[in-house]
Structures are given as structure tokens and as C-alpha cells.
Amino acid sequence: MEPLFALKAVILGFIEGLTEFLPVSSTGHILLAESLLGLGFSDPKFDKTFAVLIQLGAILALVGVYARKLIGIAIALPTEKQARIFTLGVLIAFLPAAMVGVLLHGFIKGVLFNPLIVCISLVAGGIVLLVVDDLKLAVRHHDATRFPLAMYLKIGLVQCAAMIPGVSRSGSTIVGAMLMGADKRAAAEFSFFLSIPTMTGAFAYDLYKNAGTLTAEHAGIIAAGFGAAFVAGLIVVRGLLAYVGRHGFAVFGWWRIVVGSLGLAAIILTR
């Protein structure tokens, strides 16, 4: 593996890990870094595959941090009704995006993985996040593991908007949960839980679709990005819930608007 490719993979991996659980769109940030900052690997098809596959590194970081809680839920499944409802709720919330991702996989990666769409989505999503964060919403749910079953399905439907790069999987689920009565911390925590099957499924499906085209060098590049995403993911997961519980999501809304606007300016100036 070329040293330059290894460096690019590590940088992109850190971007992935730092942004995967924030409502700012990790895929959008990686696509912009590849296309506008020259951090791609000279193969547009592999660039898109890389952006999906390294997400599992951040998900494994999340599983590591939440291992005790996840094991506790698994142990409680045979005896506790609420554990079964929560597990079923996560699976129900996962299914809509999984179905859309499989049915529209080619269209999403072939058409929507586009810097212009990413920038517009970042700005629009930032405005939505700022508005929702400032609303005086009636809070009825404080525990992500105790949402009503119907609420899990509704959040899953909202997550489908994140098939558009730049919208943000975590951003769509957080906004959806807050509008349905979850407090900010519970909304962010459920986006964590939902990311586990969603991103693991995306990883498995993309690997299945592209395994035949990946070389040993590609595997090395993915491994480097995967490791960097894991380390950065640990940092974010450990601190995010405490931050949003005190300060909310406004800073992420403004970040989206700034990054999206700078990206639009760069696209216009380089045409």
C-alpha cells in the first residue's frame, strides 16, 4: 500500500469516526473530503465503497463502549418484557432504511453520492436542526430503551431520509425522536443503538456487492481507515451524550451550514 494512500485512509477514517454519531453526516464529510480536498484514491467506485466500509470501525467503537448495557439487555430478553420490546423496536426501526437501501442501492451510489447534493443537504439539514433544537417541545420520553413500539417504527421511517448523503443518519433519527417527544439525550442515545444494525447491514451489503472488485491493496486501505474510525469513534461516543444533554445540537447545525456553504462555494469556483 502506498504511504500516501495510507495517510489518506487514516485521515478519512478519523473524519468518519468523529462525524458518524454527530448529526452532521459522516458520509457527506468523507465525500467532500475526497472530491474537494483531493483525499480520494483515484477510483470513484472504490471511494464510495471505502466511505461505507470504514463505518463499521466506528460502530465497533460504539459496541465496545455500550458492551455492558447491550449484554444486560441480551441477558434480560427471556425474562423482561421491556427488553424484548426494545430489541424488537430497534429491528423495526432498522427495516425501512434496509429495504430502501437494498432497492435503491445503485441509484444512491450512482446518483446521490454527489458533492452538490451533499452540500445542499448539509445546509438544509443544518437549518432544520437549528429550528428543532430551539423548539419548546413537550418531552415525554427520557429513556431510549423505553419508547413506545410505534415510535420506533416512525423513527425508522424518518431515518430513510438519510439515504441522501449529507442528510445524516444520526441527524434524521435525532430530529425524528425529538419531534415525537424524546429528550435530547434519549434521542441521541437511540440514534446510537439504531446505528448498530443499520451500519452493520450497510457494511455487509456493500461488501457483498463489491467483494469481487477489491484487491489486497484495497483491503489494506480499508483496514487503515477502519482502525482510525474506531479510535475516533471511541472519543465521540464517550463525550457526546453529556455534551448534548447540557448544550443541545445548535453547534452541529451551524457546523453543517458552514461546511455546506463552503462546499457550494468551492464547487461554483472550480467549475
Write the pLDDT tens digit of every residue in 173-212: 999 999 999 999 999 999 999 999 998 988 898 888 888 8
Q: Does residue 248 carry a pLDDT above 80?
A: yes
Q: Which domain holds residue 155?
A: 3-269
Per the CB < 8 A criterion, the answer to whether 198 and 25 are in contact is no
pLDDT of residue 213: 82
Q: How far is CA 3 from CA 41, 67, 221, in A?
A: 12, 34, 10
pLDDT of residue 1: 61
Residue of 50 and 172 predicted with greater confidence: 172
Least confident of 48-57, 122-131, 222-231: 48-57
Instruction: List phi, psi (to 5°) of 46.
Output: -70, -35
Q: Is the pTM of this model over 0.85?
A: yes
Residues 6+ apart with CB under 8 A from 95: 156
pLDDT in tens, 4-13: 888 999 999 9
Q: Does residue 107 carry a pLDDT above 80?
A: yes
pLDDT of residue 3: 78
The secondary structure of 134-197 as a DSSP string is HS-PPP-B--GGG--HHHHHHHHHHHGGGGSTTS-HHHHHHHHHHHTTB-HHHHHHHHHHHHHH
Count of domains for the chain: 1
Q: What is the mean pLDDT of residues 211-226?
A: 87
> What's the whole-number average pLDDT of the chain?
92
Q: What is the mean pLDDT of residues 138-147?
A: 95
Q: How far apart are CA 33 and CA 178, in angstroms?
A: 30
